[in-house]
Structure 1
Amino acid sequence: MDKIDRMRAFALVAKNASFTIAAQRMGRSARLVSKYVADLENALGVQLLNRTTRSVSLTDAGATYLALCEPLLDGFDELEERVRHDQTSLKGVIHISAPTGFGALRLTPSLAKFGEKHPNVDLNLQFSDRRVSIIEEGFDLAIRIGPMRDSSLKVRQLGPMPLVVCASPAYLERAGTPDDPRALATHECILDGNMTEPTVWRFDINSQEEAVAVSGRFRMNAPAAAARLAATGAAIARCPAYTVADAFRSGDLVELFAEHRVSPYAVAALFPQNRRLTTRVRALIDHLADDPELCSDGATT
């Protein structure tokens, strides 16, 4: 039995906490994957996984073995890719996590172009507006917008993404147009639950960044939904530019305080530090960084 198969089976079971999911990803039966792991444990003379009828978890020895074997598996995959395939015929699966709105509106079209260029690469894209654990949940990379807080991951910036404050003409007609960012204190604002400080919006005022306190009845964790709510006239929103580009063009929303925008957020690809990028993942990141449509500021007025 091939040692690489044993290691790969163990790593997939450990990362997914499931023999069934590991078997699906390997294209093997759950019974065979279980045998792979058992044979690996016998060969090493240690228990790598705690098993019950309902759960699978790593032992201390298993956690150590996983940290050491994953770079070896990545290196083996890289070796095979480089020997067997050139850059135009990449092969394999890339597991990607991305925010729901950005993933649907901007990332998906870019992935379609990448998929057309590399037809033997399978792209498994999972949408989520929470910060997934890339390593524990088995992703090759995650696309994120905003401050990059996880120092355990490598970051490749793909482009800037401005935050824009906007409202519908109907709201401004009803509530009045604020003439200064500090006037937002008297307006209904949509709070972003993804932010560390949802009730604080920052602006460039007199060449200095200034915090403005805001409040409102609506709080949500999906910027695209906040933009749609603002377009109904319910409140003022602050959103990444990609979520409001179409609404600006149609006139459903207008930007407020364009001259007071702070430095834009970054759109970035994040991936594990201790893992050598396979050729296919590296090619995808390069493609995203070179795609002018991914981070284009269609919201500029």
Structure 2
Amino acid sequence: MDKLDCMRAFAAVAAQSSFTSGARQLGISTKLASKYVARLEEQLGAQLLNRTTRKVTLTDTGRAYLERCLPLLDQFDELEDVVQLRQQELAGPIRITAPTGFGSRELVEALQPFQQAHPKVMVELVLSDRHLPILEEGVDLAVRFGALKDSTLVARKLCDMRLVVVAAPSYLAAQGDPAEPEALATHNCLLQLTSPKPDAWTFGKGAARRAVAVHGSFRANSPRAVAHMAVSGLGIARCPHYTALPFLRDGRLQVLFAQQETDPAVLYAVYPSSRHLTARIRALIEHLAGWFGPS
């Protein structure tokens, strides 16, 4: 067994805390991943992982070995990059995580031309509405909205995304058109639970920024679900512009308070500062920056 394959299997299993998930990340069988790790432990004469029926954890020796193992794997990846750049061909896996709503449509549409241009790049897209720990989950790249809170990560801005307040013409005809944001207190508002404060919508910017308390009969952890409910005429919603755009184009929704919108949500490509960016990941980040950029 190749020592490098054993090291890669150990790193993947350690990142996933699971032989099954680690093997899936590498595209090999669980049995083979187990053989690779066992062979590595045999060669080193040390136990690297504690195995239970529920979880796999690092031993102290395994943690120390992993810290030295990851930079070496990065260097091997960098050597592959040199060859790929000379051949002008990208290949290999990229594991990405993104929010469910945005990732299932907008990000997939952005990934399609990249994969068509680089058919040997294998993309694994993990959709989740919680921020997955990048290093622990073996993620190469995260696409996220909002400010960066982890100093061990690097963020590349992809674009600004408007947050819009929208309603169906049928709702406004029946319930009236609110003249000011404060009038939302008398309307049925559809709340997005993934917002920092779902029941307090902000308006204006800088010194003019203010929060307006809202309430309503529908809540969802998906911004796309909120936009779809607004189309039905149930109430007024605030959601990212991309979720409402198809309905704004065909007139099923209209924007309210356009002159009083708050600061946009920022979309970032996020990756660990400690890891070497392979040529394929750098190329994908540049592609996403161009796709979601100002144009």
Q: 1:95 to 1:214 in 2, by over 3 A?
A: same
User: 1:31, 1:126 → 2: CA distance?
Assistant: 23
SS in 2 for 1:151: coil
Contact kept? 1:230, 1:253, Cα under 8 Å: yes
1:275-286 to 2 correspondences below 5 Å: 275-286=275-286
Report the TM-score when normalising by structure 2: 0.92
Contact kept? 2:203, 2:262, Cα under 8 Å: yes
The answer on 1:33 being equivalent to 2:33 is yes
1:166-177 to 2 correspondences below 5 Å: 166-177=166-177
Aligned counterpart, 2:96:
96
The answer on 1:118 being equivalent to 2:118 is yes
Contact kept? 2:8, 2:73, Cα under 8 Å: yes
- Give the superposition deviation at 1:228: 0.3
Contact kept? 1:185, 1:214, Cα under 8 Å: yes
User: 1:23, 1:102 → 2: CA distance?
Assistant: 27
User: 1:284, 1:225 → 2: CA distance?
Assistant: 29
Structure 1 unaligned residues grouped into runs of 5+: none
- Give the superposition deviation at 1:60: 2.9
SS in 2 for 1:89: coil
Contact kept? 1:6, 1:40, Cα under 8 Å: yes
The answer on 1:230 being equivalent to 2:205 is no
Structure 2 unaligned residues grouped into runs of 5+: none
User: 2:155, 2:266 → 1: CA distance?
Assistant: 10
- Give the superposition deviation at 1:28: 4.6
User: 2:294, 2:248 → 1: CA distance?
Assistant: 14
Deviations 1:267-300 (A, max 9, x none): 1111112111111001000000011xx3679xxx
User: 2:174, 2:156 → 1: CA distance?
Assistant: 44
Contact kept? 1:93, 1:122, Cα under 8 Å: yes
Aligned counterpart, 1:138:
138
User: 1:35, 1:212 → 2: CA distance?
Assistant: 59
Contact kept? 1:162, 1:263, Cα under 8 Å: yes
1:45-64 to 2 correspondences below 5 Å: 45-64=45-64
Aligned counterpart, 1:105:
105
- Give the superposition deviation at 1:84: 4.0
1:74-89 to 2 correspondences below 5 Å: 74-86=74-86, 88-89=88-89
Identity over the aligned pairs, expressed in percent?
Answer: 51
Contact kept? 1:161, 1:295, Cα under 8 Å: no
Deviations 1:130-186 (A, max 9, x none): 222222222211111233333332111101101001111111112111111111122
User: 2:179, 2:27 → 1: CA distance?
Assistant: 61
- Give the superposition deviation at 1:230: 0.7
User: 1:143, 1:24 → 2: CA distance?
Assistant: 21
Report the TM-score when normalising by structure 1: 0.90
The CA RMSD over aligned residues, in Å, is 2.1
Contact kept? 1:155, 1:270, Cα under 8 Å: yes
Aligned counterpart, 2:164:
164
SS in 2 for 1:74: helix
Contact kept? 1:267, 1:295, Cα under 8 Å: no
User: 2:100, 2:88 → 1: CA distance?
Assistant: 29
User: 1:14, 1:206 → 2: CA distance?
Assistant: 45
1:249-260 to 2 correspondences below 5 Å: 249-260=249-260
SS in 2 for 1:215: coil
Q: 1:199 to 1:29 in 2, by over 3 A?
A: closer
SS in 2 for 1:76: helix
Q: How many residues align?
A: 295
- Give the superposition deviation at 1:50: 0.5
SS in 2 for 1:154: strand
Contact kept? 1:191, 1:219, Cα under 8 Å: yes
User: 1:191, 1:89 → 2: CA distance?
Assistant: 46
Deviations 1:28-54 (A, max 9, x none): 554443233223234444322111234
SS in 2 for 1:196: coil
Q: 1:25 to 1:262 in 2, by over 3 A?
A: closer
Aligned counterpart, 2:247:
247
User: 2:31, 2:168 → 1: CA distance?
Assistant: 58
